[in-house]
């Protein structure tokens, strides 16, 4: 029995799909004004694992991830680069697909774009206004939070305690400081569309609720995103859906925890900001995946060198069995009692609110059992089970290519880093001749070095 921690009710609940053996999942996707950062990456990767697990259970999954291609951040970036907003969006949409592919995240069932739903957003806002939940002022339309008794149910915030602040737009024209914008009056030089309130564009909170309601034709199973989206974004989605339909937008709400950098909140202003594209230059997709999944998804995690090196070492151990025997025919494998025990333990872990940390521990148990097995048949059974379970977590993808690449790439990562360590020692001793010899030898192997204030970084030559 699968139990999910529902952020809306603040407790674990048995998962009961709306349609038997089917599940509809909506994940808040990228705002395409920049490369997505490692906090976004955690959400994108973890909820892909959630999708994998439902498929492992034999369920049909409709997995939707929106793309925000109209937003203040996009407009500002377009001004900075002196380019049309559409070109900025197109650039980073392409980058988003490249980066999720590099992380070995599977494509969603649908990627709706906000600009494809402008007409439906206008109709939706007009309905809210007609029902008395929204009001217009000088071409802007606001949702009245006091018109809905249940406002604040997700975040736990009380209406009377809400004041204009960092996460709530301050506007003296509002009836109440926490009222949020549904439609923004158009400004010169900004993308805008015709509407009953004049030319303008939709607010961010309206985009997701309209797209999800339209795709799923009403209430769906699970809405996902990062903890930072609980308020105001998801709170405002819930309010609009309930005002419009009288029903919940989604039955379960899942939120992953924050990622800190060396114990501090990630921030561009402090310089401790990393995109997934940045860290993929230094670490493999599997290392990053282990880092994300080795702790429960609702817990915060700290990104630091020690944690990444630990994940790197863990991946080496997880893949060791496949380096000895990488190809097995599924029809040659006979299930045994021990295999069932591993599978059952894996199910117990994932059924307990997707406890990927415990699930990863089972992969290590299987790898140890493989090393201790005394027959080729037993090894084959264990290896097949390891791959099948590991695939649910996203590991062991493109396995043959990875093993081939490691054996033909001109040296293992551990060997390369050992040579770099020796080179750094020679440099410290001002033994430039030997330091240069190591650099030149690595270059012949296709390994390029770059000395930076943070240390020596290496990459494989294309």
pLDDT at residue 410 tops 60: no
In whole angstroms, give the CA distance from residue 314 to residue 316. Answer: 5
- Give the rounded percent of residues in the chain with a pLDDT score beyond 70: 88
Q: What pLDDT, on the 0 to 100 scale, is given for residue 418? A: 62
Higher-confidence position of 274 and 403: 274
**Who contacts 213 (Cβ-Cβ below 8 Å, separation ≥6)?**
124, 241, 244, 245, 249
* pLDDT band per the 50, 70, 90 thresholds, residue 89: very high
Domain boundaries, the chain: 3-260, 306-405, 409-460
> What mean pLDDT is predicted for residues 240-252?
98
pLDDT at residue 422 tops 70: no
The CATH H-level (homologous superfamily) assignment of domain 3-260 is HUPs (3.40.50.620)
Question: Residue 224 is inside which H or E element, if any?
Answer: strand 220-226
* pLDDT band per the 50, 70, 90 thresholds, residue 329: very low
Q: What pLDDT, on the 0 to 100 scale, is given for residue 56? A: 96
**Who contacts 293 (Cβ-Cβ below 8 Å, separation ≥6)?**
45, 46, 49, 356, 357, 359, 360, 393, 394
pLDDT at residue 132 tops 80: yes
| Average pLDDT along the chain | 89
Min mean pLDDT across 100-104, 396-400, 403-407 is at 403-407
**Who contacts 99 (Cβ-Cβ below 8 Å, separation ≥6)?**
35, 36, 41, 276, 277, 280
| Closest by Cα among 180, 185, 157 to 169 | 180
Higher-confidence position of 443 and 226: 226
* pLDDT band per the 50, 70, 90 thresholds, residue 170: low
Q: What pLDDT, on the 0 to 100 scale, is given for residue 331? A: 40
pLDDT at residue 416 tops 90: no
Higher-confidence position of 333 and 162: 162
Higher-confidence position of 379 and 134: 134
> What mean pLDDT is predicted for residues 234-258?
98
pTM for the structure as a whole: 0.84
CATH architecture of structural domain 306-405: Up-down Bundle (1.20)
């Amino acid at each position: 029995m699968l139990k999910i921690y529902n952020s809306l009710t603040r407790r674990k609940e048995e998962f009961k799909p709306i349609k038997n053996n089917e599940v509809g999942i909506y994940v808040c996707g990228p705002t395409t004004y920049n490369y997505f950062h490692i906090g976004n990456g955690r959400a994108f990767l973890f909820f892909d694992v959630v999708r994998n697990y439902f498929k492992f259970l034999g369920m049909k999954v409709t997995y939707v991830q929106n793309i925000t291609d109209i937003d203040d951040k996009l407009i500002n970036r377009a001004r900075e680069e002196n380019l049309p907003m559409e070109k900025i969006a197109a650039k980073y949409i392409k980058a988003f697909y490249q980066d999720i592919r590099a992380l070995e995240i599977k494509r969603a069932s649908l990627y709706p774009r906000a600009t494809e739903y402008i007409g439906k957003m206008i109709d939706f806002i007009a309905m809210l206004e007609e029902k008395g939940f929204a009001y217009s002022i000088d071409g802007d339309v606001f949702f009245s939070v006091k018109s809905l008794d249940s406002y604040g149910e997700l975040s736990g915030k009380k209406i009377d305690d809400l004041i204009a602040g960092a996460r709530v737009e301050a506007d003296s024209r509002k009836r109440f400081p926490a009222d949020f914008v549904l439609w923004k009056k158009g400004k010169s030089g900004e993308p805008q569309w015709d509407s009953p309130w004049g030319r303008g564009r939709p607010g961010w909170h309206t985009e997701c609720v309209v797209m999800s309601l339209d795709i799923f034709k009403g209430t769906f199973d699970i809405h996902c995103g990062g903890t930072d989206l609980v308020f105001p974004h998801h709170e405002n989605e819930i309010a609009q859906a309930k005002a419009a339909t009288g029903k919940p937008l989604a039955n379960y709400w899942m939120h992953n925890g924050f990622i800190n950098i060396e114990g501090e909140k990630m921030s561009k202003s402090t310089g401790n900001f990393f995109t997934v594209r940045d860290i993929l230059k230094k670490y493999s997709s599997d290392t990053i995946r282990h880092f994300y999944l080795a702790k429960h998804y609702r817990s915060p995690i700290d990104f630091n060198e020690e944690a990444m090196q630990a994940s790197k070492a863990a991946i080496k151990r997880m893949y060791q069995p496949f380096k000895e025997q990488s190809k097995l025919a599924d029809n040659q494998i006979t299930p045994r009692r021990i295999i069932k025990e591993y599978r059952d333990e894996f199910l117990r872990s994932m059924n307990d609110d997707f406890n990927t940390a415990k699930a990863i521990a089972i992969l290590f148990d299987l790898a140890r059992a493989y090393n201790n097995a005394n027959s080729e048949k037993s090894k084959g059974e264990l290896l097949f089970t390891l791959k099948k379970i590991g695939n649910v977590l996203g590991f062991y993808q493109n396995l043959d290519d990875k093993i081939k690449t490691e054996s033909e790439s001109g040296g293992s990562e551990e060997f390369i880093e050992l040579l770099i360590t020796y080179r750094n020692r020679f440099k410290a001793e001002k033994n430039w001749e030997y330091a240069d010899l190591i650099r030149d030898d690595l270059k012949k192997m296709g390994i390029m070095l770059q000395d930076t204030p943070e240390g020596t970084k290496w990459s494989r030559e294309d």
